Every structure is written in C-alpha cells, then in structure tokens.
A = this chain, B = another copy of it.
Amino acid sequence: MKAVVLCAGFGTRMGRTVKPLLKVAGREIMFRNLKLLQDNGIDEFVVVVNNENRKAIEDFLKRNNFKYRIVVNPHPERGNGYSFYLAKDFVDDRFVLVMGDHVYDEEFVRVALRGDGLICDRNPLYVDIDEATKVLVENGRIKRIGKDLKEWCCVDTGFFILTRDVFKYAEEIIDREEIKLSDIIERSRIKVTEISGLFWMDVDTPEELKKANKLLVRKSYKGRGDGFVSRRINRKISLRLSELLVNRITPNQATLISFLVGIFSAILNLFSIPLAGLVYQISSILDGIDGEIARASLRTSKFGGWLDSVLDRYVDFLFLLTLSFVSNLNNLEWIIACFAMFGSFMVSYTTERYKGAFFSDFYNDFDFKFPGKRDERIFLIFLFCLFSFLGKFVIVTLLALIAVITNLRVVTTIYIVYKNKRFV
C-alpha cells in the first residue's frame, strides 16, 4: 500500500518554516510518520510539496532512504484539497492519506491502519477542540465536517484510509478557486472509523511543538522493571532532562555520559565518600535518559541496550571496589564486600540470562517485588555514604546490607523461575 503525504501548506503560524521537517522528540515530524507507516507495511510515499519546500523535503526523503515520489503543487494557495487531487495518478486503488504536519505515535498508526475511511477520535486528549476539525457521523459515514460545526460527535485526526473513488468527488469541484480537503471528504460520504485515547496532535504553533515533544518523551517511559526509587525519584528527573536533551544528543551519547559520570563517582571515593555517593546517585538518574531518548526518537537499538547493561556492571563494580578500598577493610570484611559486588552482579545476571534462555522478559513474566534493583541499591549506597563520617562501620554495614539483599533476591529469583519454568 502507498501513502499520500500532504506537505504543500505554508507553516505560517510557525514562521514559514517547513513544518513537516521540524523535529519533535529527536526526529522530524515527517520521519516519524513515514517510519511508523513503513514499519506497518506501507512501502511507498507520494509526497505533495510546494515549490518553496520541495528541495528541503526531497533532500530529507533521499537522506533517509524512503521510497518516494514527489508531486509539486504549483498553486498551494488553492488549498489542501487541490494538493490531494494532484496525487491521484500515483496511487493504487486503496491508499493512506496523512497530513504532513500531524504527529502520531506508534500505537495510533498501528490501530488506524486497521480502520477504513476517515479515522476519527471521539475523545481527543491532546488537541485544542476550538481549533480542531469536527465531524458529524450518520450510519457510520461522514455527514458533515468542518471547524465550526455546532453538532458533531468526533474529531478528524488527519489520517485516512481511502480508495480512488474519492478523487471523483474532487473533480466535481475542481473549478473552484480554493478546494478544501474537507469539502471533498464531506461529498464522498466515506466511512468513519472511530478510535479513542491514542496519541496524535496537529502541530500548528511552537507551543504545540513543545507539548508534542514533552508528551512523546513521557510516553516513552513504560515503567516495567523499574525499582521503587526509579519510579518515585529518578524518572521524574530524567524525563525532564530527556525532554530537553532529546533533540540534542543520541541515546548512545547519553549512555556514555552516564557511564563516565558513574566512573567519576567511583574515583571520587578516593577523595570524598559523601560526594562520591551523590555523584553515583546522579549517574543513576542519568542512566534512565538513554532509554527514554531512544524510545521517544524511535532510535532503540539492541546494541544500545546491551552496551548500557555491560557498562552499568562496570560502574557498580568499580564504585563498591573503591569504596571498599578506601575503607581499609580487613580480610573478613573483604569477604562481605565481595558478596555485595557479586550479589549486585547476579541480580542483573539472573534476569538477563533469563531473557537469553526463555526469550521473554523476566519482569514481564513475573510481578517480582523483592528489593535490590540497581536504582534501589544505588540510592541506599548514596544514603549510607552521606553518613560515612561516622566511621568505617557505616560502610561495612552498607556492604553487609547489600550482600544480604542482593543474594536473597537472587535466591528468590531462582526459586520463582524453578517453580514456574522448570518444565520449560
């Protein structure tokens, strides 16, 4: 199936920029739409542009290896209906029509593509109703459409699944000076598919762009597998940072930054334990950013997830190692320290090895509430480090606590997997 993307409008309220190429959550609006459509089986794009933005959009399409056909609307002032009409010779019988300046998320595109006709939202969550195009439905088909309808039941999402029949309604009004897409759609009396509660936005102003950015970053956070401290503290901070950073750095850069801050915190132990603990906790907060940015900007990678895990193990090991070293442990206390390091490691190993064995996520398969996750351990270490001035026993107690919690957690994990998966 092909998709027609309308990009011939002028982004007047955005200072005459090429709106579809504005970045939201680390990606051009257009990249986001085309990528999501592509992931769902749309393999070619008919992009209607104007003479002004043609070069920028064509460069973009080339750079990102999309399979496209450019259609130039020499009279963009004749309206988006006219732009749509110009695409008629380049589509097959059934095709998708999408506005170039609307932002959708993955779930919206997936669900919308299962629909037919005009995709409407009965309960739009992120749209200014006054500015929205309203739709009146009768017997499952469109009756009226427009911004100023008094009587309406849902809102046009700018996403359509159409057949070529629609173009004949365009031909009926082709002599008009301005042809609105909504006029064509109203005449066609096409079906309406209602979907509700999913993310989509019409980005008309800089404020809406910022809002879309924020919402996409927030929606990238799933919470699965997060510990208590992460849910209550770390994520609240990291999500705000991700909003600011998502258009500026890549996920792998974020991974590297939090790794370097973590290594720095381990070195700091040699100079000031409380300061080291604080920086360690900061690195734990920063550690959330790579994943958030990656998901929000559709840049998740298997390599990124792998590298992040491996580097986290190094940071955790080195922090406990330097902390133990500066605490001048005796032989028996070193045993405790080793159990703390090993236990911390095994918390991750058991669940990661689980994924390698069962090809599903441990935290998806089990609602496992036992404490000892990384965010919780680091927060505990941070708190104890603040009180290190009270003497060596604070650090030894901390190490013993971590040793006990983590190894108990591992034993519990083994028990749960044994109970549920021993015949798998």
**Bound Cα distance A63, B291 (Å):** 49
Contact check: which of B342, B356, B417 meets A345 at CB < 8 Å?
B342
Residues from chain B with a CB closer than 8 A to the CB of A305 are 357
Known: A306-B357, A335-B325, A359-B359. A301 touches B423 (CB 8 A): yes
**B338/A414 in contact, CB under 8 A:** no
**Bound Cα distance A321, B337 (Å):** 11
**Bound Cα distance A354, B310 (Å):** 10
Residues from chain B with a CB closer than 8 A to the CB of A339 are 321
Residues from chain B with a CB closer than 8 A to the CB of A301 are 422-424
Could you tell me the distance in whole angstroms from the C-beta of A74 to the nearest C-beta in chain B? 40
Q: Does A221 contact B (CB under 8 A)?
A: no
Contact check: which of B310, B410, B424 meets A302 at CB < 8 Å?
B424
Give A326-375 interface residues, CB cut-off 8 Å to B.
Answer: 328-329, 331, 334-335, 337-339, 341-342, 345-346, 348-350, 352-359
Residues from chain B with a CB closer than 8 A to the CB of A354 are 306, 356
**Bound Cα distance A324, B337 (Å):** 13
Tallying the copies of this chain within the complex gives 2
**B313/A349 in contact, CB under 8 A:** yes
Q: Does A224 contact B (CB under 8 A)?
A: no
Could you tell me the distance in whole angstroms from the C-beta of A56 to the nearest C-beta in chain B? 26
Give A262-315 interface residues, CB cut-off 8 Å to B.
Answer: 301-303, 305-307, 309-310, 313-314
Q: Does A317 contact B (CB under 8 A)?
A: yes
Give A92-126 interface residues, CB cut-off 8 Å to B.
Answer: none
Known: A310-B346, A338-B338. A423 touches B303 (CB 8 A): yes
Interface size class of A (residues with CB under 8 A): 35 or more
**Bound Cα distance A350, B306 (Å):** 8
Determine chain A's interface SS by DSSP, over half rule: helix
Could you tell me the distance in whole angstroms from the C-beta of A55 to the nearest C-beta in chain B? 28
**Bound Cα distance A334, B322 (Å):** 11
Most buried by B among A345, A353, A410: A353
Q: Does A389 contact B (CB under 8 A)?
A: no
**Bound Cα distance A12, B350 (Å):** 52
Q: Does A232 contact B (CB under 8 A)?
A: no
Residues from chain B with a CB closer than 8 A to the CB of A346 are 310, 313-314
**B303/A424 in contact, CB under 8 A:** yes
Could you tell me the distance in whole angstroms from the C-beta of A416 to the nearest C-beta in chain B? 12
**Bound Cα distance A359, B346 (Å):** 21
Could you tell me the distance in whole angstroms from the C-beta of A19 to the nearest C-beta in chain B? 29
Known: A335-B325, A424-B303. A352 touches B356 (CB 8 A): yes
CB nearest to A348 among chain B residues: B349
Could you tell me the distance in whole angstroms from the C-beta of A194 to the nearest C-beta in chain B? 37
Contact check: which of B303, B306, B357, B359 meets A303 at CB < 8 Å?
B357
13 more CB-based (< 8 A) A-B contacts, given A352-B353, A359-B359: A301-B424, A302-B358, A303-B417, A303-B418, A303-B423, A306-B421, A310-B410, A338-B341, A349-B352, A353-B356, A354-B356, A355-B355, A356-B356
